[in-house]
Amino acid sequence: MEQQRLSTIAGEPNEVDKAASAACIRSGAFALLLSVVLFLLIPYWKNESNYVALRKYVTDRLNLADALDTLDDSVLWQKYKESHESTESMSLTQLQAARAELSIQGTAAPATATTPERSPHARDASKPRRALLKGPPEPPTNVSVKAVEEMEIGELSQIAQHLKSLNDSDTLTRTRRVPNFSTCQSCGG
């Protein structure tokens, strides 16, 4: 023990000194590596809000396209376009107040001739009948029903909401700050 103490004082490292030195080197290398990684992530963190704005903008554009497709398939919208020639030149505010008239018209089906079924207790045909067999009454013919209701075209309010979201100046400004190379990665360029 006396010799180890003397070797440490004399400048020769013992086993404890070697283990402590190795631990210091490993922790220093880890700290240096962590610092380099964090330093390289600074540009990403700095632009993260811009990437969030770009994702929001792209999502709103896709939702707008989907809402327009849904509107084109809407029966109410097609009826409204047929009844109003100036639909394409109307403002979105005017279209949001639009109401389409939905009418359902139906007629009764013509009566079909049915023969009443005879019960097993019916009389024999050779015996005289006292009364005619009565079946259920025939349904009425030439009856029509028409229901008319004005309905709001719901897709138009969704389209207005998406357009308002796309027109947000903060989102548009942040979207323009995204570097060009990242937007072209999705298109392969």
What is residue 189's three-state secondary structure? Answer: coil
Residues with Cβ < 8 Å from 111, sequence gap 6 or more?
138, 139, 141
As a whole number, the mean pLDDT across the chain is 75
pLDDT score at 188: 46
pLDDT of residue 61: 92
- Report the alpha-carbon distance of residue 30 to residue 23 in Å, rounded: 11
Element (H, E) at 36: helix 15-73
How far apart, in whole angstroms, are the C-alpha atoms of residue 48 and residue 45?
Answer: 5
157 in helix, strand or coil?
A: helix
Strands of 12-159, DSSP E: 99-107, 144-152
Spatial CA neighbour of 172 closest among 61, 8, 12, 37: 61
- Residue 127 banded pLDDT, cuts 50, 70, 90: low
pLDDT digits (tens, 9 = 90+) for 39-95: 888 877 777 888 888 899 999 999 999 998 988 888 888 888 888 788 878 887 887
